[in-house]
């Protein structure tokens, strides 16, 4: 009945209730759209830079962390393999050799990042095959390479052309090789697209003069929410020389950028919600003074003031829940639409994004936490606002209020 009473009281002043509802839901819609777009960008960033390239976590030798020289490699022995298999969150792992080199073609040269990969093993997680714009995937026995599409343009080298790679090998040896381009790989991130060269892992070992040694081991997780935990577990068993690092450590710039951008979003949201807070507060004050007499009567006939306060609190909470629901109902289809039909930018914005190594598109996120976050914020605000009438109603004096 208290709920019924609160519910009916909400609809006593229909136009005011509607205005309040609309204000709350506009705030929810704007916040949701903004967060959905932002999170979509982050998800895309993380997917294209981390998921499709760095991996959500890696094992490296501690020396390699400080100095990513080809000399600071790690040995992938049975102990390490056993340790990895012992962690249930890890679905798979694949060793890589990553190092810098100079690529030279007939017409040009460029510094590149060589990635020695076990293509077959990584295929399941990274999906290189889907990224080929020309040619065919390299396989383990190949002595050919795949290069990023940006790099291909820079070097003016397409499928079938030859590039020469030069670098320093293990312990000061010279690394040099001549490779035919077997495929062109498309990476959303221009930074990657401009400098990646994929070699089959054995060929990379030969190139750098490494035997059963790698620069890092990419870890693949069943669920990316478990990365942190898996990494911590792994670090407790890895021993002195090796360390597992998650993507936030591997790509701190990306993490920082996301954090900074999120902060901006929060500032905007804060301002938006401040406005809503004042609006709700005003509604509440009006309601309180309009119903002064009625509150007096209720206390006169024996309603405990705490109950009265709870009833009014309930009214505010119900009102804000309705606002959240309305806001979510409006924004969900919009987010879904832009999730399925991402927005692509024009030239200018695209440049900005590409500076960050990103594809110039916004694919809205449908992460449920975006919606629950708004709900929680609104509920917190209205609970906070409700403190005021709560305290006031605890002091109601029937006789004085009834005179009003």
Partner 1 sequence: MKVIETINLSKIFEGVVPVHAVNQVNLSIEDNEFTAIVGPSGSGKTTLLNMIGGLDRPTSGTIKVNQIALNELSENELINFRLKHIGFVFQSYNLIPVLSAKENAEFVMLLQNIPAKDRIARVEALLKEVGLEDKMNNRPSQLSGGQQQRVAVARALASKPDFVLADEPTANLDSKSAENLLDIMHRLNKEEGITFVFSTHDQRVIDRARRVITLEDGKIISDVIQHEN
Which residues of this protein are in contact with partner 1, per CB under 8 A?
A: 1, 5, 8-9, 12, 293-294, 297-305, 307, 397-399, 402
Nearest residue (CB) to partner 1, 93 versus 390: 390
| Shortest reach from residue 10's CB to partner 1, in Å | 9
Packing angle of the helix pair 305-340, 292-300 (nearest 10 deg): 130
**E strand intervals along 122-237:** 132-135, 144-148, 162-168, 174-185, 196-200, 213-214, 216-221
Region of 11 on the Ramachandran plot (φ > 0 left; ψ -120 to 50 alpha; else beta): alpha
Nearer to partner 1, 141 or 395 (CB): 395
Nearest residue (CB) to partner 1, 257 versus 288 = 288
CB of 287 to partner 1, least distance (A): 13
**Taking the mean position of all CA atoms in its chain, how far away is CA 131?**
22
Alpha-carbon gap, residue 214 to 216, rounded angstroms? 6
Rounded least distance, CB 222 to partner 1, Å: 51
Q: 252-290 vs 368-393: helix axis angle to the nearest 10?
A: 30
| Residue 22: CB minimum distance to partner 1, A | 22
Residue 332 has which token pair? 């969900």
Nearest to partner 1 of 300, 321 (CB atom) = 300
What is the rounded CA–CA span in Å between residue 67 and residue 54? 17
**CA nearest 27: which of 333, 380, 312, 326?**
326
Q: Which is nearer to partner 1, 26 or 398 (CB)?
A: 398
Alpha carbons 352 and 333: distance in angstroms, whole number: 28
> Residue 177 has which token pair?
């090789």
Other C-beta atoms lying within 10 Å of the C-beta of residue 402: 15
Minimal distance in Å, beta carbon 303 to partner 1? 6
Question: Rounded to whole angstroms, how far apart are CA atoms 145 and 161?
Answer: 10
The whole-angstrom separation of Cα 112 and Cα 102 is 6
Q: Which is nearer to partner 1, 5 or 166 (CB)?
A: 5
* CB contact at 8 A, 230 and 192: no
Nearest approach, Cβ of residue 284 and partner 1 (Å): 18
Find the shortest distance in angstroms from Cβ 1 to partner 1.
5
DSSP line for 287-322 = HHHHTHHHHHHHHHTT--HHHHHHHHHHHHHHHHHH
The Cβ of residue 140 has, within 10 Å, a number of other Cβ atoms equal to 13
Query: Where are any strands of DSSP class E within 254-353?
Result: 343-344
Q: Which is nearer to partner 1, 140 or 394 (CB)?
A: 394
State in angstroms the smallest separation of the CB of 7 from partner 1.
Answer: 9
Q: How far is the CB of 293 from partner 1 (least distance, A)?
A: 8
Q: Where are the beta strands (DSSP E) in 172-254?
A: 174-185, 196-200, 213-214, 216-221, 242-246
Of 307 and 339, nearer to partner 1 (C-beta) is: 307
Cβ–Cβ < 8 Å for 244, 235: yes
For partner 1, which is the closer residue by CB, 63 or 300? 300
- State the nearest-atom distance from the C-beta of 308 to partner 1, in Å: 10
Judged by beta carbon, residue 113 or residue 396, the one nearer partner 1 is: 396
CA proximity to 248, closest of 266, 232, 268: 232
């Amino acid at each position: 009945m208290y709920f019924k009473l609160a519910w009916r009281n909400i609809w006593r002043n229909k136009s005011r209730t509607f205005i309040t509802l609309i204000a709350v839901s506009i705030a929810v819609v704007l916040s949701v759209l903004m967060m959905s777009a932002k999170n979509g960008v982050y998800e895309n960033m993380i997917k294209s830079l981390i998921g499709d390239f760095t991996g959500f976590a890696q094992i490296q030798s501690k020396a390699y962390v400080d100095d990513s020289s080809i000399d600071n490699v790690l040995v992938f022995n049975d102990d390490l393999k056993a340790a990895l298999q012992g962690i249930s969150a890890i679905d798979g792992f694949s060793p890589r050799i990553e190092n810098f080199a100079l690529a030279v073609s007939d017409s040009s040269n460029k510094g590149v990042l060589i990635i020695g990969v076990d293509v077959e093993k990584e295929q399941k997680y990274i999906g290189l095959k889907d990224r080929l714009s020309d040619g065919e995937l390299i396989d383990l026995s190949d002595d050919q390479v795949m290069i990023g599409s940006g790099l291909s343009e820079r070097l003016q080298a397409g499928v079938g052309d030859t590039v020469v790679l030069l670098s320093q090998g293990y312990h000061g040896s010279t690394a040099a090789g001549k490779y035919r381009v077997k495929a062109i790989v498309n990476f959303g991130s221009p930074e990657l697209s401009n400098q990646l060269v994929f070699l089959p892992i054995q060929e990379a070992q030969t190139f750098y003069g490494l035997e059963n040694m790698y620069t890092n081991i990419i870890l693949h997780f069943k669920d990316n929410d478990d990365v942190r935990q898996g990494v911590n577990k792994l670090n407790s068993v890895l021993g002195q020389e090796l360390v597992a690092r998650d993507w936030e450590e591997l790509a701190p710039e990306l993490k920082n950028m996301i954090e900074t951008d999120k902060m901006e979003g929060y500032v905007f949201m804060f301002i938006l919600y401040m406005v809503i807070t004042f609006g709700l507060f005003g509604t509440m004050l009006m309601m309180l003074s309009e119903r002064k007499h009625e509150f007096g009567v209720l206390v006169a006939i024996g309603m405990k003031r705490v109950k009265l306060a709870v009833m009014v609190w309930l009214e505010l909470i119900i009102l804000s829940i309705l606002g959240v629901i309305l806001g979510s109902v409006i924004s969900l289809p919009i987010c879904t639409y832009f999730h399925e039909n991402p927005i692509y930018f024009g030239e200018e914005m695209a440049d900005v994004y590409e500076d960050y190594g990103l594809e110039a598109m916004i694919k809205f996120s449908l992460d449920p936490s975006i919606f629950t976050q708004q709900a929680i914020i609104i509920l917190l605000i209205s609970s906070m606002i409700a403190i005021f009438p709560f305290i006031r109603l605890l002091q109601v004096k029937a006789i004085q209020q009834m005179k009003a």
